[in-house]
Chains A and B, each alone.
Chain A
Amino acid sequence: MPSGPPARAETRPVPDATGLELIAQALQEANADSVLGTAFFRDRAVIIANPPDVHEVLGRLKDQGYDFLASLHGVDYYPEEPRLGVLYELLDMKEVDRISVKARVHTDAPRIASVVDLWPGADHPEREVYDMFGVVFEGHPDLRRILMPEDYEGFPQRRDFPVGGEPVLFTYNEDSPYGKSQ
């Protein structure tokens, strides 16, 4: 039974800023172009990877112990360029370390290598990023929309995609879009 609240437990910033630089340096030694930079904010370590080399970077980190892909999601950095970001949240369960890998691609050719061969669990998240942001994952076994209907046009999570004003399609009105004719 705790006697009053003890001081907040020291949450280890893992890896710390130095550790992150060491990891990034090791990755750069293996392939000089693979790492574009690092970011350390609020104890969150991010490696900014060169999009063509992201599979290689993730493979190396996986071998280092970051072998659990906790999350894979997309971000639209509109109006900054390159606009689309794909983020991989990696976790080392033994050391209880987390590291993020970020790769940013342009909207005119949003292509990035799939990591389904490294983690089968990247299947649905990659489909979601494709569905919402239009990033094409090369080598994905079954890349199609997951949350939106198959015949949907556009990528709704992009920042320039308007909110609202969209006709709702059901089977009974799919031949005569809402508002046009009855």
Chain B
Amino acid sequence: MSALVILLIISLMISGGFLVAFLWSNKDGQFEDQFSAANRILFEEKIKTKNKN
């Protein structure tokens, strides 16, 4: 086996990992409401930590 094949497989696995991460976050609805999450992170949490959905 040439090194090229091994490298190719590794690169496919890594990029495949990113693809899965992308699909997962899409399933989670991350791309539907880009306003809320971006702003939510800026709020000071004074009293107690917010409930996560």
Is the pairing of A and B real?
no
Query: Footprint of A on B, CB under 8 Å?
Result: none
